[in-house]
Chains A and B, each alone.
Chain A
Amino acid sequence: MTDVAYDVDDDTIAVVEDTDLPRRLKDEVYETLEAREGATVEEADELAKAVETRYLDTRVEPLDPVGTVSAQSIGEPGTQLTMNTFHYAGVAEIDVTQGLPRLIELVDARKTPDTPMMTVYLEDEYATEREKAHEVVWNIEATQILALGDVSTNVADMRVQISLNEDTLQERLITAEEVAGIIEDSLGVKTVQQGTQIEFGPEEPSYRDLLQLVEELRDITFKGIEEVSRVVIRREELETGTEEFVLYTEGSAFGDVLEIEGVDASRTTCNNIHEIHRNLGIEAAREAIIEETNNTLAEQGLDDVNVRHLMLVADMMTNRGEIESIGRHGISGSKESVLARAAFEVTVNHLLNAAIHGEVDELDGVTENVIVGKPIKLGTGDVDLRMGSTTSGSGQAD
């Protein structure tokens, strides 16, 4: 007997478990029965049967064009999405692309999103103590020289002089020696370091080289991850009532962040589906696509789009074990039929290439049959009916 977390008797459980319902609906039936105290077994049976009938009724029929229905169901709300990206202060004042541009970016499977970001969760004491959380912040946020001190150029002596700020160094857990070392490694110059003062210059006295060095110096990442330009730290309440620090980043480097000490590698996510795919695999990418598309729609108040449609999109995009875009370069472009591909985009190229390679169209799909004017193999179009046919063997009428 299945264990049920609701206060109903064994006979009721027996009749409900006997139905063809999925777990969630069964639980909902129990919940309803529990709320209506004193429902008899017959009533429970009637209810369960009614739910089952309704459930079986609403399932898709074989040969239903689920893809077309999904396309319509996402496309129609898509017309109501915002067209332009306002720099919208979402969580923690970080700009995130929203609405239609974001949806397009997702289904096009762009290599990098317009506004990459990560949500970084922290572990144990890193999540509860502000100082500890800040340690993680400095390990993520890219630190450039201007954040650490002042840079001045001494044109007379052809030297670049850096005066580091002691407090900032301490706060960001980096020493003047380290800074000098990083400069030597990345610029290939000899530095003279004394306390918080660092000095260096071009080998040959050259005004151009000097300016060049200053330019390059500004681009060096001394600490943190180069791709992450900003980190916002936020205190968030958990469902359990306790609070924890969560980091939101502008820019993303998912793989690098997961390795950092203090980062909770089981919850941290980013909005770049390719990075998720690379680091967590195709199943996680599928999950992320559903989550991101769903959130994009929900953000605009269009969360009544059935999640099954988004799941279908995600399933299609991840079907081959890698993320494919929906469109000419991805799913539509890899269709078997020449006519179906030609009907989508760049018609002439497809027809030309097909002619050159001598491709054959089997006319199995929908689009190609519409083009040639044959019934499509969907719904009733797939069923052949015969009346008074003869069996091929005997030649006699049945």
Chain B
Amino acid sequence: MVDVSQHELVPEHTVLEEEALEDVLEEYNIDRTDLPKIKRNDPALPDEAEIGDVIKIVRDSRTTDQSIVYRLVVE
């Protein structure tokens, strides 16, 4: 199998710890279900990710240096 994470279109995906998640949700004042979603079978998902986990994605942004976004694992 091809290592998807090596592709230049794929940013870094990591599973967010529960404590860190609390801070994020508090900062944005939202529920975890308000976050953008990522499918359980997404090829770029880390192996250990489970449904309900939140994935932290660090993109090389076109407008700032790096942008950090979060996606909730669904289905």
Number of interface residues of B (CB under 8 A): 28
**B interface SS class:** loop
Give residues of chain A (268-284) contacting chain B, Cβ–Cβ below 8 Å: 269, 276, 278-284
Instruction: Tell yes or no: B11 within 8 A of A by CB.
Output: yes
Q: Does B44 lie within 8 Å of A284, measured CB to CB?
A: yes
In Å, the complex CA distance between A318 and B59 comes to 15
The A/B interface has a contact count, at CB < 8 Å, of 82
Q: Does A288 lie within 8 Å of B9, measured CB to CB?
A: yes
In Å, the complex CA distance between A9 and B35 comes to 42
Q: Which residues of B contact A315 (CB under 8 A)?
A: 36
Q: Which residues of A contact B65 (CB under 8 A)?
A: 22-24
Known A-B contacts A23-B65, A307-B62, A311-B62; the reply to A279 vs B39 at CB < 8 A is no
Q: Which residues of B contact A320 (CB under 8 A)?
A: 36-37
Known A-B contacts A265-B2, A276-B9, A288-B9; the reply to A281 vs B37 at CB < 8 A is no
Instruction: Tell yes or no: A391 within 8 A of B by CB.
Output: no
Q: Does B44 lie within 8 Å of A319, measured CB to CB?
A: no
Q: Does B7 lie within 8 Å of A265, measured CB to CB?
A: yes
Q: Which residues of B contact A290 (CB under 8 A)?
A: 62
Which listed residue (A24, A266, A321, A322) contacts B6, Cβ 8 A? A266
The minimal Cβ–Cβ distance linking A315 to chain B, given in whole angstroms, is: 8
Which listed residue (B2, B8, B38, B59) contacts A282, Cβ 8 A? B38
Q: Does A321 lie within 8 Å of B39, measured CB to CB?
A: yes
In Å, the complex CA distance between A281 and B7 comes to 11
Known A-B contacts A282-B39, A283-B11, A284-B10; the reply to A265 vs B3 at CB < 8 A is yes
- Chain B, residues 9-25, CB within 8 Å of chain A (1/0): the string is 11101000000000000
Q: Which residues of B contact A267 (CB under 8 A)?
A: 7-8
Which 5 residue pairs across A and B have the least CB separation, nearest first? Answer: A281-B44, A23-B65, A321-B37, A284-B9, A22-B64
